[in-house]
Structure 1
Amino acid sequence: MNRTKFILTTLAFYPLTLLAKILPKTALGITKGFKVNSGEARFGVHYKMKGVTLNTLDIKISGKDTENDLAVFEQTGLTPNGGPPLHIHPNQDEWFYVIEGEYKFQVGNDTYQMKAGDIIFLPRNIQHAFVQLTEKGRMIVSYLPAGKMEDFFAVTDKWTLPPAKEEIEQVFADHDMKVVGPPLIVD
């Protein structure tokens, strides 16, 4: 085989490699959209994050819908002055969109005051936490990739008593997160 023919043959296969990256998603049936109504959860389950906060999390887009590429939740905040401990997601980016209420976020060493209409991006491997500043709040939170977040909220929903710090840290670790500090406090 001469060199020109080899190069042309090699280049001809390049579009096939791109198609191979796209094809599995459509070949597996992820080709139809869906709607989740306001106040409802994708599979009808309203997770209560008992023990850490009293927040409710509704899956809007599941990792099961996206081959674990994305998960989107609506979080209803029912815990004024409450929030998760300072933690890290080593494998996930996260973003929040505030629908209602006010929050304070810490991302790395920076703090941000958030109100309705604000959005914040939290890159993977950066410590972060938030605290709810108002009586009630609502946010959209998204995880990229979805990771084990749906399972994490299913576990916290089963708690009947506030868990010990060690149990919280273990459940975070079991779901690919690391607790690195206490929850934020309101100034």
Structure 2
Amino acid sequence: MKRRKFLLAAGIPVVMGTAQQRPNKGFVVKANNSRFQEKTLIGGKNPNDIKVSFQDTEGSLSIFTYTGHEKGGPPLHIHPNQDEIFFIIEGEYLFQVGSDTFRLTSGDTIFLPRNIPHTFAQLTALGKMFFLFQPSGKMEDFFRTLGSLSSNPSPEQGAKIFAEHDMQVVGPPLSY
């Protein structure tokens, strides 16, 4: 049985898309740059740079750095197909994972399992995080879509964008 058919028959999600063959050489993405020299600004002012792309990993992983220049965060949401890991580089963040909340600062790491409602809020005026999705899913395109907006979307627009990228909004952003 071919691998894709086997995985589908076993109920294991198979990432579709335009993933290319893995590179046969290592690469470096310099600080404040993105893998493909694209600028993605969330809310028009918060860089969210791709460091390792689904194209590099055949869809198994995407890695980003985010620099926040404002407090707040996304609505409570669910990724049915991706686990997330965040590593705090700078600033202070409040995370909600299911019914648990956690305060994180520089050097802290948090794991967010798929299918568990979660969100975060940046508590300081400046924050920086390294984060990843496994598998990649549609997350790179999600951030590109957000980056194409000149300001943060309305809750209704945001929920539609989340749904188009295989996520579900299940509550408001954190109050802090």
Identity of matched residues, %: 52
Find the aligned partners of 1:120 and 1:75 in 2 and give their Cα distance. Answer: 15
1:125–1:59 distance in 2 versus 1, CA, 3 Å: same
TM superposition shift of 1:72: 0.2
* Residue in 2 that maps onto 1:94: 84
SS at match of 2:128: strand
TM superposition shift of 1:29: 4.8
Does the alignment pair 1:33 with 2:23?
no
1:29–1:91 distance in 2 versus 1, CA, 3 Å: closer
Unaligned runs of 5+ in 2: 1-20
TM superposition shift of 1:164: 2.4
Unaligned runs of 5+ in 1: 1-27
Q: Decide which structure has the larger Cα Rg and report it.
A: 1
Find the aligned partners of 1:29 and 1:155 in 2 and give their Cα distance. Answer: 25
**Superposition TM-score, scaled by structure 2 size:** 0.85
1:111–1:65 distance in 2 versus 1, CA, 3 Å: same
1:30–1:134 distance in 2 versus 1, CA, 3 Å: same
Task: Give the one of 63, 72, 76 matched to 1:72.
Answer: 63
* Residue in 2 that maps onto 1:154: 144
* Residue in 1 that maps onto 2:40: 47
1:34–1:109 distance in 2 versus 1, CA, 3 Å: same
Find the aligned partners of 1:131 and 1:73 in 2 and give their Cα distance. Answer: 17
| Equivalent pairs, count | 156
- 4+ residue runs of structure 1 moved beyond 4 angstroms? none
Find the aligned partners of 1:90 and 1:134 in 2 and give their Cα distance. Answer: 29
TM superposition shift of 1:170: 0.7
1:99–1:29 distance in 2 versus 1, CA, 3 Å: closer
Find the aligned partners of 1:124 and 1:173 in 2 and give their Cα distance. Answer: 15
SS at match of 2:145: helix
Q: Which one-letter code corresponds to 2:58 in the other structure?
A: E
Where in structure 2 are the equivalents of 1:114-153 lying within 5 Å? Answer: 114-153=104-143
Q: Which one-letter code corresponds to 2:32 in the other structure?
A: G
Find the aligned partners of 2:97 and 2:106 in 1 and give their Cα distance. Answer: 19
* Residue in 1 that maps onto 2:50: 59
Q: Which one-letter code corresponds to 2:106 in the other structure?
A: A
* Residue in 2 that maps onto 1:167: 157
Q: CA RMSD in A?
A: 1.3
Q: Which one-letter code corresponds to 1:130 in the other structure?
A: F
